[in-house]
Amino acid sequence: MPSFANTPMQEAWSWDNNPVNITCLAESIPNATISWRMNTVEINEKNNDINIRKFGEGPLSSLQITPIGQKYYARYTCRAVNQHGSSEHVIVLKEAKRPSHILQAKLEVITATTITFSFIGPADNGGLPTRKYAVQYKEERKDWKDAKNKTWPVDSPYILEGLEPQTTYNFRFAAQNDVGFGDWAASEHHTMPKRSYPEEPRILSNPREDGVVMSPYSDHYELTWRIPADNGEPIDMYSIKYCPVTQGEGFWKAMEYQCETRELSSAEHTTYKLGNLIADTYYKIELRARNKIGFSTPGEVIIKTARGGDTPVPANEGPALSSGAIVSIVVASLFVILIFIDLSCYLVNRTGLLMVICEKVRGSKASDEDAKLGSNKDSSGPDLSMEKLPETKVSIIKKETSVDFDMKKSISRTSFVGKDSAV
């Protein structure tokens, strides 16, 4: 039996003679043949109605309907037939209308030059979703023909700007769908306040449940905000104050001596990068707008910087060491370690570079002493003359030689044993 499971359309809308298509899909094996009825009347070539055109005999079939009269807003039945049986699916064509009047318009936020509204929509949307809301407004003493209009898409901020301070206005409102606007209703009148300092800037952020905004960076934060209402006098400056804070019981305590302030002279700023922040630290940020009347109340946010190894050095701690200084410190440390190792080798094992140097110094001193002793003997010793003895052949055997050092003189003794000596 054919199935219409994949034909979700159950109603269609049209208005002002606009053509509309309705479609059905019959799934079956073998494919089904599709026919249509409008209420109880079969739609076929015999009807010869130029306002209803059929496309396709199955398994997909559509009707294009041009509803030039009320009879075309009817029930259209799609009937699918194959050898296993038949199934039907009904689509209702309805006439869409303009929405009814708005039930309520509420003035939510009022400044010297702006009003923010909220709406309770129409009781009857005319069959189609509400697309827009509109306000018509004029100064109290003027006629509605001189009124101005402002339109907002649904779910956008409903803010009316450009109003004059200390002026009374009349307002009326309407809703709009694809057919058109409903009637004007929900009239209001209001006198705007006098000029004053700007409204509080709204900081744009995504806080956690505890109200803290987590920065993805360890050393800076991108502060963004929405330009506030100027309350009749142009904004000429923003002031940003940010301080490290610690968390107390229900409050944040600022470290005032570490607070920083930045001033932005252009009123068009909506973002600023706060730099040189400390990693893994809470900060309280206050943003104020100023006009010639004064500063606004501050917009506030608590942030926490991310953890990271790129923590900047605070300004009061001086500049960081250069890479050259770090290399010099490392080399000097290695040199001290090597000297300590060599000294240990000298004291324990009598080895190492220090041992070699000491031996060379000691050998040099001994040579100098020997040279001095030889010189003294030549200059101050007695002049001994030796008689020439008769030549005698002597067989000499060298037995032992010893040398004694006492650091002042050198004495050499040699013992001889002779054979066939004549003496």
Pick the closest to residue 238 from 291, 290, 298, 294 (CA basis).
Answer: 290
**Token pair in block for residue 186:** 């929900």
Instruction: Return all residues near 164 (Cβ < 8 A) that are at least 6 apart.
Output: 113, 192
Which of 191 and 385 is assigned the larger pLDDT?
A: 191
More confident position, 344 or 395: 344
Sheet harboring 75-82: ordered strands across? Answer: 11-14, 85-95, 75-82, 33-38, 41-43
pLDDT greater at residue 287 or residue 268? 287
Task: Choose the weakest-confidence range: 155-159, 191-195, 236-240, 323-327.
Answer: 323-327
Class for domain 202-312, per CATH?
Answer: mainly beta
pTM over the 0.85 mark? no
Confirm if 246 and 255 have CB atoms less than 8 A apart: yes
Work out the pLDDT band at 360, boundaries 50, 70, 90. Answer: confident
Domain ranges of the chain: 11-95, 102-191, 202-312
What confidence tens digit (pLDDT) does each residue in 236-276 have? 999 999 999 998 877 889 888 899 999 998 778 899 999 99
Q: Which residues contact 249 (CB under 8 A, 6 or more apart)?
A: none
Mean pLDDT in residue range 203-208 = 92
- Shared fold status for 11-95 and 102-191: yes
Q: What is the pLDDT of residue 353?
A: 74
Which contacts of 20-23 are long-range, i.e. CB under 8 A and separated by 24 or more positions? 20/64, 20/65, 20/67, 20/93, 21/62, 21/63, 21/64, 21/65, 22/62, 22/63, 22/65, 22/76, 22/91, 22/93, 23/60, 23/61, 23/62, 23/63
* Residue of 203, 213, 204, 225 lying closest to 306 (CA atoms): 213
Q: Is the pLDDT of residue 418 over 70?
A: no
Domain 11-95 CATH class label: mainly beta
Cα(170)–Cα(186) distance, integer angstroms: 11
Give the residue ranges of DSSP H helices in 203-316.
Answer: none
Q: What is the DSSP letter of 396?
A: E
Does the structure show a pLDDT above 80 at 3? yes
pLDDT at 372: 52
Contact between 77 and 92 (Cβ < 8 Å): no
Query: Residue 172's beta-bridge partner residues?
Result: 136
**Per-residue confidence band for 292, with pLDDT thresholds at 50, 70 and 90:** very high
Q: Please check the confidence at residue 196 and state whether its pLDDT lies above 90.
A: yes
335: its two tokens:
């040199």
Position of tokens 């003359």? Answer: 385
**Pick from 28-32, 62-66, 105-109: least confident:** 28-32
Strand partners, 75: 92
Residue type at position 403: V
Q: Which of 45-54, 149-158, 175-184 has the least mean pLDDT?
A: 45-54
CA atoms within 13 A on the CB side of 276: 12
pLDDT of residue 347: 78
Q: What pLDDT is attached to residue 68? A: 93
Rg of the Cα atoms in the chain: 53
CA dihedral 398, 404, 409, 411 (to 10 degrees): -20
Q: What would the mean pLDDT of 88-117 be, rounded to a whole number?
A: 94
**Stretch 323-330: mean pLDDT:** 82
pLDDT band at 366 (very low <50, low <70, confident <90, very high): low
Identify the bridge partners of residue 417 per DSSP, sorted by sequence position.
397
Q: Is the pLDDT of residue 317 over 70?
A: no
- Compute the distance between CA of residue 405 and CA of residue 129 in angstroms, rounded to an integer: 121
Query: In CATH, which of 2.60.120.280, 2.60.40.10, 3.20.20.70, 1.10.3720.10 is domain 102-191?
Result: 2.60.40.10
Residue type, 71: K
* pLDDT higher than 60, residue 313: no
